[in-house]
Amino acid sequence: MPWNFDEKKIDAIFSQIDQCHKPGAAVGIAIDGRPIYRKRFGLANMELPVVLSPSIRVRIYSMT
């Protein structure tokens, strides 16, 4: 790989929301069109609560 990618550093950025009581985030990173990182953190639904998973569909707002 021509790039230096440290998965642990990305995990550390999102560790604060990777708890079972905070709103979640889905993170995907691709380099040269090839996905190299896909993870989810936190909750998909605060009311139920439902943990965010790869199979849950979410709306993409202006934060993309």
pLDDT tens-digit readout, 38-55: 988 888 888 888 888 878
pLDDT band of 8, cuts 50, 70, 90 = very high
Residue 63 in any domain: the answer is no
The pTM score is 0.69
Q: Which pLDDT tens digit goes with each residue over 11-33?
A: 998 887 777 777 888 888 898 88
Write phi, then psi, for 10 (nearest 5 degrees): -65, -45
Within-domain flag for 62: no
Tokens of 57: 């569909």
Domain count for the chain, please give it. Answer: 1
| CA–CA separation, 44 and 46 (whole Å) | 7
pLDDT score for 15: 84
By residue range, what is the domain housing residue 21? 7-51
Is residue 59 assigned to a domain? no
Contact 58, 42 (CB under 8 A): no
User: Phi/psi at 39 (nearest 5 deg)?
Assistant: -150, 165
Q: Does some domain include residue 56?
A: no
Ranges of H-type helices in 1-64: 7-14
